[in-house]
Structure 1
Amino acid sequence: MKVSAAERLRRFYDIFPSDSQVLVVINADPDAMASAMAIKRLLWRRVAGVTLSNINVIKRPDNLAMIRLTGINMIHVDQVNPAQFTRFVMVDSQPGHNESFSKFKFDVVIDHHPETGYAATFSDIRPDFGATASIMTEYLRAARIKPSSRLATGLSYAIKTDTSNFERKTLIEDLKAFQFLFQHANPHMARKIEQSEITPDFLKFFKLALDTVKQRKGKYFVHLGNVPNPDICVVVADFFMRVSTVRWSIVSGIRMNKLVVVFRNDGIRKNAGRVAKETFGAMGSAGGHKNMARAEIPLSEIQKQVEITDHKKVLNWMIREIEKNAGKK
């Protein structure tokens, strides 16, 4: 039987006694940060305190701009003492997605990624939704909360980001959530966040990518070598998808003893998440959606197969592995 938004909200609120000290743990990106902001708003004046904590180091310019402009406050998970909190919440992810989540026992998990089976006291996992922000907007509306312009801007930007401007598979609920938020959002703030994607230190990697890209039947492959931030791979992969003839854009880089591989495609009869998992799942973490995915492989897993310091050899190895395991997808 379908559960109503009002009933979901009631069950959510039942988790939190009024003296709760709540920790919301996220892998910070626009959807996770906006959803965490929504949790904090839902619990305002209902609990003793709400703290937001990120497990990752945030360096992407658009994410930093979102933090600055929306005023979201977070502390890194390494600075958190779990003993100071009585309730633990996760949004836009699930505990099995990252080992950094393992030190917490989550009471609430709300997410739009495929379900992993984690037994939280309250779970709301809806993989058909384009963004967790859409789910959180449903909670706000059920609670009859009018979002502030900052919260509405964050949530609407998150929906646009996670649905690739509604180009990816979405539900009518995503569109309704965006329509509702748009009435309260600040378009100038949203535009500023969107235009903060690239910093000057990213530019040299664009030149490297243009100089070394390998093209194979609509696929663009690039290896950037050592990168100060793996999000550079994301920005470069998205950049190549703007080329009219490109069906796949696959960009890798090395960061903190891991090879990070970012997958993008045009979404036409393709599944980036499956390709990433079939190619690199046995070596490290890999997965994602139909038109975007990511793999992270410890260098120790591939050093016997390829000389890591030779960027051309790493690129050729990556191409062989992808084409061998999933080249036709």
Structure 2
Amino acid sequence: MALFRQLDEQVEHLLELFTKDDNWLIVINADPDALGSALALRRIMARRVNRTAIAQINEIKRPDNLSMIRYCRIPTQKLTPTLAVQFDKFALVDSQPHHNPEFKQFDFSVVIDHHPIAEDNLVEAEYVDIRPKYGSVCTMMTEYLYNMKIRPAKLLATALMYGIRCDTKTFERKFIDADMAAFKFLSKFADSKLMNRISRSEFHLDWMRYISRAFYNLRRVGKGLFSYCGNVENPDILVIVADFFTRVHDVPWVVVSGTSEDKLVCILRGDGQRRDMGTMAQKLMNGLGSAGGHKQAARAEVPIEELDGVDPEIFMLKRIGQGRKATIRKV
């Protein structure tokens, strides 16, 4: 019995796109799943194209992401117009073109993702592989490597394994058998000590003031929790706070928001039983900015100027409480 599904047709179609004359840029919104997937796609492209590079649209400041890049030697760089013009082919992993306005400038030839498919934003590219049931794109890329008989080197295997671990939250979030199979397969090649070193690098000391502020501003909204952290130096802080609050007993959903670089950023987390966080994010923003995600995890970003002068915290309280003050109370 094969360890993974056969991808003969998909592999053939994908490899047909790679020629020795092409210069490929792999574009990501950097997180562990995107970083590991990009590194795997770069490995697949090796010796098949003229040049490959990885570029992220976001500023990477989260300590575990920085550690992953350092220890797994992932050659990603900040996306700039000067960098982009050096390439004639573009690939997108762990995202879809409508997920962020910065993606819209590119005509992607390859899109590989696991987020839900939006019927009003169907992806068009020469090669599209979107599997919403998968817990991680790193699982999908592991399947590609296996089908191509490419044995992942230690650092690549570690990056892929860490990406699966993060996106499934060590299999606490939704996953399928393929995610578990990929994790087990990669464990034969990965460096477990290195992965633990990466995962322990989660917090900057100066982030503690934002965590303190999140506790002070914590509110109960129906059965869920909401906290506004004010202006933060990095939206990754909001992710860490939201993930922490999911550990509170009998809380089915959490929304943590703040502002960063003239944007209102909202991180949503759920227990996967009741509300769909991706749908909730879209309803909260109601067409403003960008919003979406999975049943258990989602994100929304709205330019401050689109709030029409309304204070971001007040804006969120009105949206989450649906205008009913009685549903909101201090913790």
State the TM-score, normalized to the length of structure 2: 0.91
Match of 1:56 in 2: 58
Is 1:38–1:151's contact at 8 Å kept on the other side of the alignment?
yes
- Distance, in Å, in 2 between the alignment partners of 1:296 and 1:287 is 10
Corresponding residue for residue 207 of structure 2: 202
Decide whether the 8 Å contact of 1:278 with 1:325 is kept in 2: no
- In 1, are the aligned partners of 2:28 and 2:38 still within 8 Å (CA)? yes
Q: Highest relative contact order (Cα 8 Å, sep 6+), 1 or 2?
A: 2
Do residues 163 (structure 1) and 168 (structure 2) align? Answer: yes
Deviations 1:140-172 (A, max 9, x none): 001111111111111011111111211222121
Q: Is 1:258 the equivalent of 2:263?
A: yes
Distance 1:150 1:290 in 2: 31
By how many angstroms is 1:323 displaced?
A: 3.0
1:317 and 1:54, CA in 2 relative to 1: closer, same or farther beyond 3 A?
closer
Q: Confirm or deny: 8 A CA contact 2:161 2:190 kept in the other structure.
A: yes
What corresponds to 1:7 in structure 2? 9
Query: In the TM superposition, what is the alpha-carbon distance from 1:83 to its structure 2 partner?
Result: 3.9
What is the aligned partner in structure 1 of residue 178 from structure 2? 173
The answer for the alignment partner of 2:319 in structure 1 is: 321
Are positions 1:149 and 2:147 aligned together?
no
More off after superposition, 40-49 vs 66-75: 40-49
Matches within 5 A, 1:1-329: 4-78=6-80, 80-115=82-117, 116-304=121-309, 306-308=310-312, 314=313, 316-324=314-322
List alignment gaps of at least 5 residues for structure 1. Answer: 309-313
Give the C-alpha shift of residue 32 in structure 1: 0.8
Is the 2:252–2:274 contact (alpha carbons within 8 Å) kept by the matching residues of 1?
no
Alpha-carbon contact 1:27-1:55 (below 8 Å) kept: yes
Deviation at 1:219, TM superposition (A): 1.8
SS at match of 1:137: helix
Per the TM alignment, residue 79 of structure 1 is displaced from its structure 2 partner at its CA by 5.1
Q: Distance in 2 between matches of 1:200 and 1:273?
A: 31
CA RMSD, 1 decimal: 1.9
Indicate conservation of the 8 Å contact 1:29/1:63, yes or no.
Answer: yes
Cα distance in 1, alignment partners of residues 323 and 198 from structure 2:
38
**Residue 114 of structure 1, CA deviation:** 2.1
Aligned-residue sequence identity (percent) comes to: 42
Decide whether the 8 Å contact of 1:286 with 1:294 is kept in 2: yes
Contact 1:261 1:294 in 2 (8 A): yes
